[in-house]
Amino acid sequence: MSEFKNVTVVKNANVYFEGKVTSRTVLFADGSKKTLGVMLPGEYEFGTSVAEEMEVLAGKVEILLPGESEWKLFDGEGSFFVPANAKFKLKVHSVFDYCCSYLAG
Amino acid sequence: MSEFKNVTVVKNANVYFEGKVTSRTVLFADGSKKTLGVMLPGEYEFGTSVAEEMEVLAGKVEILLPGESEWKLFDGEGSFFVPANAKFKLKVHSVFDYCCSYLAG
């Protein structure tokens, strides 16, 4: 079972879309940050400030990356990058468990 | 902002009730375990194996503890204990952010 060791976890959840999207913030010794989150089925749009790597831990989800016209399907695995200051869309088909890494600017 | 430092976090979410209840497991250096979770509005019943302390971080929730006939209301704060090998019920009225501590038997 994959784990993050020697980290700091912020106790309170981050809550979006009336709780259909929630995450917890994990802080690493090197100053980097990730969030571990869950999205329930639905359609969402998010904006980035810094670049993000999204890793699919579980769930079936389609992603529309900025500047693209074709949705990409992920089924339980894989990852994708979103540039800084960009918007991306998701169609979540089954409970989407993810790890989002915030990439330093 | 309250944090847990020097902990291990299990990457994958624990998912119950089709994702309406999810949590992440946090492991402490002393061998103890907590989960940080979110419950969406709805009614739930859970069973314990070891005793649990549930801390309300956010949200409005009613709890029916084992052997009791009166529901207790929590609104954004407070905590309650559930004995080992018991069942308890929850009526979640708004996104319920919680911290569950598993108490060694």
Q: What is the pLDDT of residue B22?
A: 98
Q: Chain A: residue nearest B2 by CA?
A: A11
Cα distances (angstroms) measured from residue B32 to each of A45, B35, B49, B93: 38, 11, 15, 30
Of the pLDDT bands very low, low, confident and very high (cuts 50, 70, 90), residue A105 is low
- Average pLDDT for A14-29: 98
Question: Which chain B residues are closer than 8 Å to A18 by Cβ?
Answer: 95
Is A1 within the bounds of a domain? no
pLDDT greater than 70 at residue B93: yes
CATH of the domain at A93: 2.60.120.10
Q: Give the count of domains, chain A.
A: 1
How far apart are alpha carbons A100 and A35 in whole angstroms?
5
pLDDT greater than 70 at residue A16: yes
- Average pLDDT for B16-22: 98
Mutate to test the interface with B, among A26, A36, A61 (most CBs of B within 10 A): A36
Is B82 within the bounds of a domain? yes
This complex has an ipTM of: 0.94
Of the pLDDT bands very low, low, confident and very high (cuts 50, 70, 90), residue B75 is very high
pLDDT greater than 90 at residue A1: no
Is A2 within the bounds of a domain? no
Is B96 within the bounds of a domain? yes
How far apart are alpha carbons A39 and A42 in whole angstroms?
8
Question: Which chain B residues are closer than 8 Å to A3 by Cβ?
Answer: 8-11, 27
Domain extent for A14? 8-103
Does residue A27 sit at the B interface (CB-CB below 8 Å)?
A: yes
